[in-house]
Structure 1
Amino acid sequence: MNGSRRRSTASPFGAGRIVFWRGGSLWIGHAARETENHAHHAIQITLALAGGMLRFRQPGQAWASYGAAIVAAHASHAFDARDTLVALVFVEPESLEGRALRERYPDGIASLDGGLLAEQADWLAASYARHDGDEALASCAQAVTTGLSSMHHSSPKPLDKRIARAIDLLRERLADAVQMSEIADAVHLSSERFRHLFLQETGIRFRPYVLWLRLEVALARYEAGSSLTEASHAGGFADSAHFSRTFKRMFGVTAIGVQRA
């Protein structure tokens, strides 16, 4: 993220890089403080790089420490990775790998065997230290997802083709006001059947999913150097305040507090 536009009095959450690809993203760097409680649509694979430790807390519970952990989609949690290099690999639950992970880790926060992902974690840390390009970082992060999902003993059921097509249409039309009835009609389903099937296949209702996609677009633009206002409009938010509120609710920190290293 472009530090020249970030002269805010708000205390920064941390510094690092964010890289996106279809079906996921990587957030890697150092955090300066813990997040507030939050929940998001993505499955979150979290690795403490270079031998560090992480802490997670679920509502009503005490902090617990991990070397590596996975957070289920929509699981409320707070996160603390101060004093360590950390990688957060976000996986869309409706992707093929996400569906495998969702079956194996359906709820809450689970500890992962860091030894099984040690090679991929080392690749990530080395790529980040070399200041590799986004494509190289994404490749390292996707190796984490592939490695973990391949431990699933059975192949997950593919996403329903009608819902897969609906998601493609949504991504194409995010610049406009998106109506569920139009998307349902485009994939030859009634609105009621589409509503039920969409929730069943993705684990999220239609309108919150559209908001999640808009947040992804806005954040990618913000990471690329756009102002908060420009990024908000690119994602289809009414204004930067709406984008900022949504970001904090889903990630537990302010967007302006995430800085590029």
Structure 2
Amino acid sequence: MRSVHRVYGFGPSATNALDGVDLTVPPGRFVSLIGPSGCGKSTLLRLVAGLERPDRGEVRVHGVTPAQACAAKMIGLVPQSPALLPWLSVLRNVTLPQKINRGAAGRRERIGGFEKRQVPDMRDLLVKAGLGEAMHKLPAQLSGGMQQRAAIVRAFGLRPDVLVMDEPFSALDEFTRESLQDQLLDLWDELKTTVLFVTHSVSEAVRLSDTVVVMAPRPGRIVETIDIGLPRPRGERLFKERRFHEYEDLIRDRLRHAWHGAAA
């Protein structure tokens, strides 16, 4: 993103959702966006995913526009709610994207600079995500955590070059949330997709991320970028380590400054 501005509304009532945002994410990185409500985190994701266009500035995904990247199936999206089709089994839900837009592979090849993408075994991914016994069930027969797991597998099943995730675990209890964090990290470690992840949880951001981007509202902007120098894999023992809590304290301090600066 280069000098990206996004404004909603007109005149005195206009909301400056993003103001002069610059952000570069190297391939294969896991980057979390965190900040107070109204700071533009979800707007930033929608711009990258091609769901909106900036009023000014430039957004590029591997050198092409988000619209071109979406047409080539280079971008995967995991929203806050799983959005599974209720009349299809879990297996049919997660394999459906592979059957749509069959010309995407050719578009991706024409963009250039990529290895040929192998279609993953979706049954295998479901088993790795703990859904092996649920793959033939309908979404209504699953818990909320299992439905969200299926949505993550569906997105990874495209082998996207960039995966955008908008608070996918926000509606889950803490135990389920931590379990899904484990499975997300396992899938990400295997597939090495670039991830942009929105969260309101400081602990979640530190545990998952290579980099945490702190944002502030009014206007929406990036105030700090913090690299997380913790070793991987990041299991439960991480929560007991002093460095983990030092990163938590650092990010909370930056969030307090972002919030007070906006209030002032």
Normalised to the residue count of structure 1, the TM-score between the two structures is 0.29
Return the structure number with greater relative CO, CA threshold 8 A, min gap 6.
Answer: 2
